[in-house]
Structure formats: structure tokens, C-alpha cells
Amino acid sequence: DGGITQSPKYLFRKEGQNVTLSCEQNLNHDAMYWYRQDPGQGLRLIYYSQIVNDFQKGDIAEGYSVSREKKESFPLTVTSAQKNPTAFYLCASSLGQGSTGELFFGEGSRLTVL
């Protein structure tokens, strides 16, 4: 079945370590997004990409990095520069550029810093 796969579902990190969250989609969507969700704060956009080899910062990009080398893949690295990385991370994709279509979400990755 077509969809978005995020891994790992749960991840623990020691302070000072970088971690990479995987996001793969087989929907042939051009646009992909990373969101962070904290309790009571809804979803905040970290990075988005509308085409391969191009991506833009969202509202809270500091301490994060991404790459878009393949259409299907949009990994997110949480760096040691991110001061409060414990959160639920959601990857999403949409068919076209811009925000006129629906978003398809993965099941999320929960990162905990020990």
C-alpha cells in the first residue's frame, strides 16, 4: 500500500548526540514536510521540500538539518545544537507544490533526550 513510513518509532538520545529520523514515501509526491509536535502547541513546521535537491526552513529550523537527494526520502537530523529536542516528530507529503492539497502523514517518531 502507498504511504509514508517513519522510523524509528521511538528513539532515545544522550545530550550532545546527533540523531537522524527517517521518512520514506511511495506516493510519488513532490512535496515533503517535517513537523514537531509538543503537548498543547499543535504542529510547528521545521523544514519542507517542494522538489528534489531543494528545501526551505520552516518556523523552527534552528538545530535541525535535512536533505532531499531522492524524491522518496526526506531524512531529518536533530543536531546537538537543538536545545530541547524531546518531542514527537511527524513527516508528511503532498502531491504538488504549495499547500493546496491534502497532507499525508507518517505515524511519527518520538524522540527522548536522556
Partner 1 sequence: SQQGEEDPQALSIQEGENATMNCSYKTSINNLQWYRQNSGRGLVHLILIRSNEREKHSGRLRVTLDTSKKSSSLLITASRAADTASYFCATDGNQFYFGTGTSLTVIP
Residues at the site binding partner 1, with contacts judged by CB under 8 A: 4, 6, 33, 35, 40-43, 45, 48, 58-59, 88, 90, 92, 98-100, 102-108, 110
In the complex, what is the shortest distance from the CB of residue 92 to partner 1, in angstroms, rounded to a whole number?
8
Gap between the Cα atoms of 29 and 50, Å rounded: 9
**Shortest Cβ 94–partner 1 spacing (Å):** 8
Residue closer to partner 1 (CB basis): 4 or 76: 4
d(CA 101, CA 40): 25
**Quick check: 89 and 66 in contact, CB under 8 A?**
no
Which residue, 8 or 17, has its beta carbon nearer to partner 1? 8
- Residue 73 is classified by DSSP as B
Cα separation values, 17 from 3, 13, 100, Å: 30, 7, 37
Tell the smallest beta-carbon distance from residue 44 to partner 1 (Å): 8
Give the separation between CA 5 and CA 1, rounded to whole angstroms.
11
Kindly tell me which of 18 and 96 has the beta carbon lying closer to partner 1: 96
Residue 83 C-beta: closest distance to partner 1, Å: 21
